[in-house]
Amino acid sequence: MLKVSRSLKEISCKACQAKEEFTKKYNREPTIRELSEISGIGKEELVEAMEASAEVESLHRPVYKKDGSEVELLEKLEKEEKTEEKIIDQMFLYSLLEKLGKEERQLIYLRYFENKTQSETGKMLGMSQVQVSRLEKKILKRMKEYGSPPA
């Protein structure tokens, strides 16, 4: 449990009152800058106080219920994080593939996206399995070098 200091509570209370008055007067919520100006509180201090006074939410709170099963907030956050990481990885991979020639890209595509064997890939590209193996090794080495930070 976190303890919020008295000064932060007071600032938060003052900000809430100023926010209510502004909302009644202008029929909209104030921006942080406007709230800072009317309350006389610095922007950083205001944001800190508002964040400190925000309600705590449980990561185990159900966010979805259907057919007797429920999904907790924690599970949803983990899935979103994994999706974001996957997108970043895909973008990085595509940037590496763009640096390859057409035949090299096709070889990598067949081997790793279509899960073709070296023999199948060789037949499709007019090469032997041994040639595919050697070329694949060279391509992967170059991709690794492209993806490594400069020394």
- Is there a shared CATH topology between the 6-53 domain and the 83-147 domain? yes
Question: pLDDT for 83-133, tens place per residue?
Answer: 777 788 888 888 888 999 999 999 999 998 899 999 999 999 999 999 999
pLDDT of residue 93: 87
- Using alpha carbons, select from 116, 119, 144 the residue that is nearest to residue 131: 119
- CA distances 114 to 100, 121, 132, Å, are 18, 10, 15
**Domain definitions of the chain by residue range:** 6-53, 83-147
Does domain 83-147 bear CATH number 1.10.10.10? Answer: yes
Rounded CA-CA distance 69/89 in Å is: 31
CA dist 21 and 39 (Å) reads 11
Q: Residue 80's pLDDT is what?
A: 65
Average pLDDT value for the chain: 85
pTM for the whole thing?
0.45
Q: How far apart are CA 60 and CA 41, in angstroms?
A: 35
Residue 136 has pLDDT above 80, yes or no: yes
Would you state the pLDDT for residue 54? 74
pLDDT in tens, 29-80: 999 999 999 989 999 888 888 888 777 777 777 777 777 778 787 777 767 6
Architecture of the structural domain at 6-53 = Orthogonal Bundle (1.10)
pLDDT digits (tens, 9 = 90+) for 66-85: 777 787 877 777 676 667 77
